[in-house]
Amino acid sequence: MKRAAAWMAEKVTGWLTHEEPVNELPLSDFSRLCFEIRPCDVLLVEGRSRVSNVIKNITQSAWTHAALYIGRLHDVADPEMRSLIARHYRGDERDQLVVEAVLGEGTVISPLSKYRGEHLRICRPKGLSLQDAQQVVSFGVKHLGADYDVRHLLDLARFMFPYALVPRRWQSTLFEHNAGIAARTVCSSMIAAAFTAVHFPILPVIHRENDGRLHLYKRNTRFYTPRDFDYSPYFDIIKYPFLGFDDLAIYRQLPWDQNGVICNDANDCFIPLATPGPAGKTQEEPPRVAPAIRTAT
């Protein structure tokens, strides 16, 4: 019986995680993203699987998956964490890595290169200290091996229906204290719990007292979805489009002189290549200074 249930679960998981082909022309410049991404950035992914389509319907957002970027192995300051990562990831130690909760795999370490060709976005926590960033990374690493919480996904789906129409035995456990199994998680709730552990706000509940004082209350991390990191005012949104308007950097458009004149200032120019003068003598070209660049005011 258990073997049959496991076989059925494997087949259903495989059907849900089956992905459509990658677009021939991606929306994101993956090489630029790899260069710019920093440890503790949240990577949002627009998934291509059947379960991704379910999440899109539940959350009404294109972002279906979130991963926590932890950098390369040497970027992790804690030697205990580095050792734990090395036990869970057997690839090249120079690979850029993310921690993520994946249906059918649980919480795992994956190379960033896994998402080459995908539509991606970086959410960067504003002003997060280096010490707290390492603690966020450690929180994610400590969850390695945890199972994916399929029940949590179903609980979120139930909110698409009027609560009163759902039979009591089917109603969500999200509101229950210590609900669910501690050894299980999903991508966004695990990352939200990591930031909450260092008191970094994502979408806090803000209450104003009668005397004008403000109080912030932490939200239930089980309610967070990938789109909340995109919506949060405490995260900078960074995009690297495949076809961007700033592909030609401004410094490439400066009016540099092409004849080899080197100037220390306006009255001191050295000409490496002299031009031949009368009777075989050489004469220096008159100093040339590039015109000042006018900027719009």
Q: Does any domain span residue 184?
A: yes
Q: Does any domain span residue 225?
A: yes
Q: Which pLDDT belongs to residue 217?
A: 87
**Inter-residue contact 293 to 250 (CB < 8 Å):** no
Q: Does any domain span residue 248?
A: no
Structural tokens at position 156: 């979120």
**Domain coverage including residue 51:** 9-16+27-238
Q: Which pLDDT belongs to residue 17?
A: 66
- Positions in the chain short of pLDDT 70: 1-2, 4-18, 148-186, 244-250, 258-262, 266, 270-297
In the chain, DSSP finds a helix count (H) and a strand count (E) of 8, 14
Shared domain for 31 and 172, answered yes or no, is yes
Shared domain for 224 and 271, answered yes or no, is no
Q: Does any domain span residue 172?
A: yes
Q: What is the pLDDT of residues 247-281, one digit of tens each?
A: 556 677 777 776 666 677 767 776 665 555 555 55
Q: Which pLDDT belongs to residue 184?
A: 53
Rounded CA separation 34/29 (Å): 9
Shared domain for 54 and 145, answered yes or no, is yes
Model pTM? 0.72
Q: Which pLDDT belongs to residue 178?
A: 46
Q: Which pLDDT belongs to residue 29?
A: 92
Shared domain for 107 and 221, answered yes or no, is yes
Q: Which pLDDT belongs to residue 60?
A: 84
**Amino acid letter, 57:** N
Shared domain for 110 and 228, answered yes or no, is yes
Structural tokens at position 56: 């899109």
Shared domain for 147 and 232, answered yes or no, is yes
Q: Which pLDDT belongs to residue 159?
A: 53
Query: Which residues are paired to 214 by β-bridges?
Result: 208
Q: Does any domain span residue 249?
A: no
Q: Does any domain span residue 127?
A: yes
Shared domain for 162 and 259, answered yes or no, is no
Shared domain for 269 and 186, answered yes or no, is no
For residue 49, give the DSSP letter: B
Q: Which pLDDT belongs to residue 180?
A: 41
Q: Which residues of 108-133 are buried (b: 16+ CB within 10 A; e: fewer)?
A: bbbebeebebbbbbbbbbeebeeebb
pLDDT > 70: percent of the chain: 66
Shared domain for 124 and 226, answered yes or no, is yes
Q: Does any domain span residue 114?
A: yes
Shared domain for 158 and 35, answered yes or no, is yes
Question: Count of domains in the chain?
Answer: 2
Shared domain for 273 and 220, answered yes or no, is no
Q: Looking at beta carbons, which pairs linking 281-285 to residues 24 or more positions away fall under 8 Å?
A: 285/259, 285/261
Shared domain for 228 and 263, answered yes or no, is no
Q: Which pLDDT belongs to residue 70?
A: 96
Residue 20's φ and ψ, nearest 5 degrees, are -75, 160
Q: Does any domain span residue 22?
A: no
Helix (H, G, I), strand (E, B) or coil at 278: helix
**Inter-residue contact 207 to 215 (CB < 8 Å):** yes
Burial of 204 (0-12, 13-18, 19+ CB in 10 A): middle
Could you tell me the CATH number of the domain that includes residue 231?
A: 3.90.1720.10
Cα separation of the two ends of the chain: 76
